[in-house]
């Protein structure tokens, strides 16, 4: 299995972190005991600016979860179309080449799902196999590649696409003044990404997926996720996430690589989810990575924020299209998310 094309798509609205902070202060005026807490927390998340699904003044007009989800459906369909079209173009393929499509998101819901809407909107084959996946959160970009690879292992003559859309701003909880919600309102952004993959019997010019590994950590359900109510999605974000990374990641990576006859020193590049400064620092520490090994992840975080499942795909896009590793070298693509869990993908360029 090979990755043939990767592309991203973003809403046209882009705001600096300071512009977003000003809007949030106005939204929470009179409610925050100390408004400077907002500035302090937002300055620590390593983000300079983010794309938002709507003009920033329109968020005050959304009074219900239904309104936010309607906006999610409209924007998600548009961005999914753009990302998939661009990825197919980069792969030198057309919509008619697709046999399967995997759609991942954790910031909105639709039935029919967005992948079904793409069949009508883009003219995808009527016989296409659709696999919408909800709930994996930040890990879903890596997991989606792994599941698409599983599919192509059984159908080596076919082409599969992964589409990720995360519109995190549409989950903002205006009545929630918890530290977790304030941090998430400063960390997460909006965007989409798509990966087109081919089976082993088809020729492509991207990295080969050599192996994948899923790791689930028992009794860690409260580390990350959503509390879902009539108000919509309320963030669950424990300060203990970096501790989970430090406890498990190195052991998982080493075991995964050992099964492939490799060691960490054999890995030329690390394509890691942009979880936030503390997550990236914990990853660097756990894996004992050299300086600037996660430079692309840090850059993506700074430019557009954490895009949940789409983040690791943005890092992959940068490596694929602008910083391609040497032929024959190995990469690890990885992300962690609700469960708590990790997904690891071994690539060879």
User: Could you say which of 198, 223, 254 is where a domain stops?
Assistant: 198
Interval 310-320: pLDDT, tens:
999 999 999 99
| Full-model pTM | 0.94
Please report the pLDDT score of residue 223 as a whole number. 83
User: Could you say which of 198, 217, 252 is where a domain stops?
Assistant: 198
Interval 13-45: pLDDT, tens:
999 998 998 888 887 776 777 767 777 777 788
What CATH number has the domain bearing residue 119? Answer: 3.40.47.10
Enzyme catalytic residues: 138
Interval 89-144: pLDDT, tens:
999 999 999 999 999 999 999 999 999 999 999 999 999 999 999 999 999 999 99
Considering only residues 125 and 232, tell me which one the structure prediction assigns the higher pLDDT.
125
224 within some domain: yes
User: Could you say which of 198, 221, 237 is where a domain stops?
Assistant: 198
- Do 155 and 29 lie in one domain? The reply is yes
- Do 120 and 253 lie in one domain? The reply is no
- Do 157 and 258 lie in one domain? The reply is no
- Do 173 and 253 lie in one domain? The reply is no
143-154: average pLDDT: 98
CB 297 within 8 A of CB 335: no
Domain count, the chain: 2
203 within some domain: no
- Do 98 and 221 lie in one domain? The reply is no
193 within some domain: yes
CB 45 within 8 A of CB 183: yes
Q: How many CB atoms lie within 10 A of CB 78?
A: 16
* Host domain of residue 139: 2-198
DSSP string covering 14-81, please?
EEEHHHHHHHHHHHTTTT-S-THHHHHHHHTS--SEEEESS-GGGGGG--SHHHHHHHHHHHHHHHHH
Please report the pLDDT score of residue 10 as a whole number. 98
């Amino acid at each position: 299995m090979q990755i043939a094309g990767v592309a991203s798509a973003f809403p046209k609205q882009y705001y600096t972190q300071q512009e977003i902070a000003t809007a949030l202060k106005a939204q929470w005026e009179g409610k925050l005991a100390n408004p400077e807490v907002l500035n302090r927390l937002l300055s620590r998340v390593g983000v300079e600016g983010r794309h938002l699904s709507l003009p920033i003044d329109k968020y005050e007009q959304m009074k219900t979860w239904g309104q936010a989800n309607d906006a999610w459906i409209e924007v998600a369909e548009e961005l999914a179309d753009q990302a998939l079209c661009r990825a197919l173009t980069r792969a030198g393929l057309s919509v008619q080449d697709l046999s399967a499509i995997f759609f991942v998101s954790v910031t909105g819901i639709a039935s029919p799902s967005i992948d079904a809407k793409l069949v009508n909107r883009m003219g995808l084959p009527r016989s296409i196999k659709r696999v919408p996946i909800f709930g994996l959160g930040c890990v879903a970009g890596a997991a989606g590649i792994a599941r698409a690879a599983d599919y192509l292992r059984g159908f080596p003559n076919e082409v599969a696409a992964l589409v990720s859309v995360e519109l995190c701003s549409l989950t903002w909880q205006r009545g929630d003044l918890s530290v977790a919600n304030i941090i998430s309102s400063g960390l997460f952004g909006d965007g989409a990404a798509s990966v087109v993959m081919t089976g082993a019997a088809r020729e492509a010019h991207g990295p080969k997926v050599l192996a994948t590994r899923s790791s689930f950590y028992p009794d860690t359900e409260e580390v990350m996720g959503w509390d879902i109510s009539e108000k919509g999605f309320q963030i669950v974000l424990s300060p203990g996430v970096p501790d989970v990374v430090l406890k498990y990641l190195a052991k998982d990576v080493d075991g995964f690589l050992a099964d492939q006859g490799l060691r960490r020193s054999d890995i030329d590049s690390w394509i890691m989810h942009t979880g936030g400064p503390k997550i990236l620092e914990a990853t660097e520490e756990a894996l004992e990575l050299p300086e600037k090994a996660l430079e692309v992840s840090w850059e993506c975080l700074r430019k557009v924020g954490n895009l949940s499942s789409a983040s690791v795909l943005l890092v992959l896009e940068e490596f694929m299209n602008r910083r391609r590793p040497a032929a024959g070298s190995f990469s690890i693509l990885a992300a962690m998310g609700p469960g708590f869990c990790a997904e690891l993908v071994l690539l060879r360029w």
